[in-house]
Chain A
Amino acid sequence: MGNEKLDQLYRSVIMDHYKTPRNKGVLESSNVTIDMNNPTCGDVIHLTLQVEDDIVKDAKFEGEGCSISMASASMMTQLIKGKNTEDAVTAAHAFSDMMLGKDIDDSMDFGDIEALTGVAKFPARIKCATLPWKAMEKGIASDSE
């Protein structure tokens, strides 16, 4: 049985983030808290951010979901830490584009996150990957209100 196509989805970087998630937990010092779920499959994420002077100082997540959603959450929190909120939102939009199979701006330094490009070929799984990013976007929007 060939696993080539599976390997395109479950790149080793993704499995690494799934098995040893970064920034897992709840931030004591958070000033932004977001809960989001994916109603079609039951995935849930609890994201806590510490935003000061428009900078994401720290981020942590808790959640329950598949390897794709949890790895995506781990990578997302890693990326946005230290970024200003505007850049974080831009990254969320670029990530959405990537999931739609669109080419993304070269200036976007996604690093590990590019391993998730394979998800675009699995339409049923795109929502898994975008859930943490949607949560982050919503959190930042609520903070700037």
Chain B
Amino acid sequence: MLNNDIRKDFPILDQEVNGHPLVYLDSAATSQKPRQVIEAIANYYQNDNANVHRGVHTLGNRATEGYEGARETVRKFLNASSTEEIVFTRGTTTALNLIAQSYGRANISEGDEILITYMEHHSNIIPWQQLAKATGAVLKYIDLEEDGTLSLEKVSDAMTDQTKIVSMMYVSNVLGTMNPIKQITEIAHAHSAIMVVDAAQAAPHLKLDVQDLDCDFLAFSGHKLCGPTGIGALYGKKALLNEMEPIEFGGEMIDFVGLYDSSWKELPWKFEGGTPIIAGAIGMAAAIDYIESIGLGTIEKHEHELVAYAMEQMKTVEGLEIYGPRDSSKRAGIVTFNLEGVHPHDLATVLDMNGVAVRAGHHCCQPLMKWLDVSATARASFYLYNTKEDVDRLVEGLRMAKEYFQ
């Protein structure tokens, strides 16, 4: 387990909520930010703020160095071979939409198949629905195993010669399951399909290596890995990005502008129209530096221990049902559950009154809720700053809710 001293890096955790010390168990929605990130952003605004890639003045240079330095940090974080393959976006959602609108519109036609799973987040469903509607392509879902995991057999069975895109989350934000992305990428490539990875829940917890995975695109968000909101990144293989058209046009992304025609900058800037998210990129780079200084392996291990402990303790609460694999080693730091006789909203309110923050609802996964045959669930998600005491407080709150609603 990580030392409790980590908590000192997160000023927000040091407060009372409804008269109780805060226990934050909603990091899968967004993580808290360490002082190192808050200070990097403040420092940028206090000392270096200027627009990037233009002007010759010193601040402009510093801002550009900060922004492009952040791109190099992301490149190393993903082990991409070049910064040309790293496009800054507003987050995972924007990155997935960019792929669907740019790559999709140019390469998908009637009768082609796009393959996703029932566990996807809405942001990895709707862009493909829209693409399918616009092109006449067919959107297909890979079925899950009973425990919510994905089997390679079902993936293989779902592939056809028409499959052009396979898009999938790496780690489920509801079930906590980790999908075998490397093997699935091999299967996709064997059918000449491209592989898109939604790494929103993976990037905060697992060491990613896009060259080893060999995926074609990968997206993640800064705010889930201790960074600020409003920034994320899209990784794409250079050969694919080169062929793709931008979807946003304006300043920053152009080479020459004529009266009736223009040309684009080289990679990656052709996809970054307008003044970019400079402070966001710098903040996200500080966040990556922060989690890497602790070690993604260490973070992953810490979460595994917490999740194992949480599942063990939660099982002692009568009437509590946990969704997804029973085996905690198959999970990232996420436990989604329902407590018999207490609707998840009521549960979340009772927990909040005890200072414990959890999420209740469909978690942007309505198709998965339907698959699980529930209308809503409660979710506790853990990150590097959570402790076994946090789990104890959760379990205490669950017992109290049970009693209150008896």
The chain A residues found within 8 Å of chain B, CB to CB, are 1-3, 5-6, 9-10, 15, 40-44, 64-68, 122, 124-125, 128
What is the CA–CA distance of A128 and B360 in the complex, to the nearest angstrom?
13
What is the CA–CA distance of A10 and B18 in the complex, to the nearest angstrom?
16
Can you name the residue of chain B whose Cβ is closest to the Cβ of A65?
Answer: B343
Neighbouring A residues of B349 by C-beta, 8 Å: 6, 9, 122, 124-125
Interface centre among A6, A15, A122 (most CB of B within 10 A): A6
Is the CB–CB distance between B353 and A41 below 8 Å? no
The chain B residues found within 8 Å of chain A, CB to CB, are 18-19, 343-346, 349-350, 353-354, 360-362, 366, 369, 375-376, 400, 404-405
Neighbouring A residues of B361 by C-beta, 8 Å: 40-42
New A-B contacts (14) at CB < 8 Å, excluding given A42-B362, A43-B375: A1-B354, A10-B346, A41-B345, A41-B362, A41-B376, A42-B375, A43-B345, A65-B343, A65-B345, A66-B345, A67-B346, A67-B405, A68-B346, A125-B349
**Can you list 15 A-B contacts with CB-CB less than 8 angstroms, sorted by A residue number?**
A5-B353, A6-B349, A6-B350, A10-B404, A15-B405, A40-B361, A41-B345, A41-B360, A42-B362, A42-B366, A66-B344, A67-B346, A67-B405, A68-B345, A68-B346
For the residues of A in contact with B, the DSSP-based class is mixed
Interface centre among A42, A67, A125, A128 (most CB of B within 10 A): A42
User: Shortest distance in angstroms between B132's beta carbon and chain A's nearest beta carbon?
Assistant: 22
User: Shortest distance in angstroms between B166's beta carbon and chain A's nearest beta carbon?
Assistant: 28
Neighbouring A residues of B404 by C-beta, 8 Å: 3, 6, 10
User: Shortest distance in angstroms between A80's beta carbon and chain B's nearest beta carbon?
Assistant: 24
User: Shortest distance in angstroms between A11's beta carbon and chain B's nearest beta carbon?
Assistant: 13
What is the CA–CA distance of A121 and B353 in the complex, to the nearest angstrom?
12
What is the CA–CA distance of A122 and B352 in the complex, to the nearest angstrom?
11
What is the CA–CA distance of A6 and B369 in the complex, to the nearest angstrom?
28
User: Shortest distance in angstroms between A105's beta carbon and chain B's nearest beta carbon?
Assistant: 29
User: Shortest distance in angstroms between A138's beta carbon and chain B's nearest beta carbon?
Assistant: 20
What is the CA–CA distance of A65 and B344 in the complex, to the nearest angstrom?
9
What is the CA–CA distance of A43 and B366 in the complex, to the nearest angstrom?
12
What is the CA–CA distance of A30 and B396 in the complex, to the nearest angstrom?
46
What is the CA–CA distance of A40 and B360 in the complex, to the nearest angstrom?
10
User: Shortest distance in angstroms between A24's beta carbon and chain B's nearest beta carbon?
Assistant: 16
**Known contacts A1-B400, A67-B343; A42 and B376 CB within 8 A of each other:** yes
What is the CA–CA distance of A128 and B349 in the complex, to the nearest angstrom?
12
Neighbouring B residues of A10 by C-beta, 8 Å: 346, 404
Can you name the residue of chain A whose Cβ is closest to the Cβ of B18?
Answer: A5
Neighbouring A residues of B375 by C-beta, 8 Å: 42-44, 64-65
